[in-house]
Amino acid sequence: MRRTLEPYLWLLFSGGGVVAALVLPVLVLLFGVLMPLGVVDWPAPERLGALLDPVPVRLALLGVVVLCLFHAAHRIRFTSEELLGIARFDLVIAVICYGGAVAGAIVAGLVLF
């Protein structure tokens, strides 16, 4: 019996979907709508720096980014295969999508730490 990574990739996809549905709309609403319109005051740079100072906050933010990247990679992989009819290149598409997610996760880790 041959084991595949597919269940783990689906796990990352579903976790990223939950995070993307619950966390990202709040961040977009705050930093993309309310603060630019002046409804909520922009935090001082020192305050944002102090918010990101604790390691658990950085780890949580890294988790949000990583899960969203893997969710996007999985969605792009299967959508491109189905819509474009290029399922015969599954391995290449998977390497590109998940490789991009891993590279993005590494960059996010470097930026946060």
**Alpha carbon of 43 to those of 16, 49, 51, 66: distances in Å?**
27, 10, 10, 25
**pLDDT at site 68:** 94
**What's the one-letter identity of residue 104?**
G
pLDDT of residue 48: 87
Query: Taking the chain (113 residues) in consecutive chunks of 10 residues, what is each chunk's mean pLDDT?
Result: 87 92 92 94 91 93 94 92 89 94 97 92
- Please give the CATH architecture assigned to the domain spanning 6-112: Up-down Bundle (1.20)
pLDDT for the residue numbered 30: 93
Give the Cα separation of 100 and 106 in Å (integer): 10
pTM value? 0.83
Q: What is the pLDDT of residue 112?
A: 92
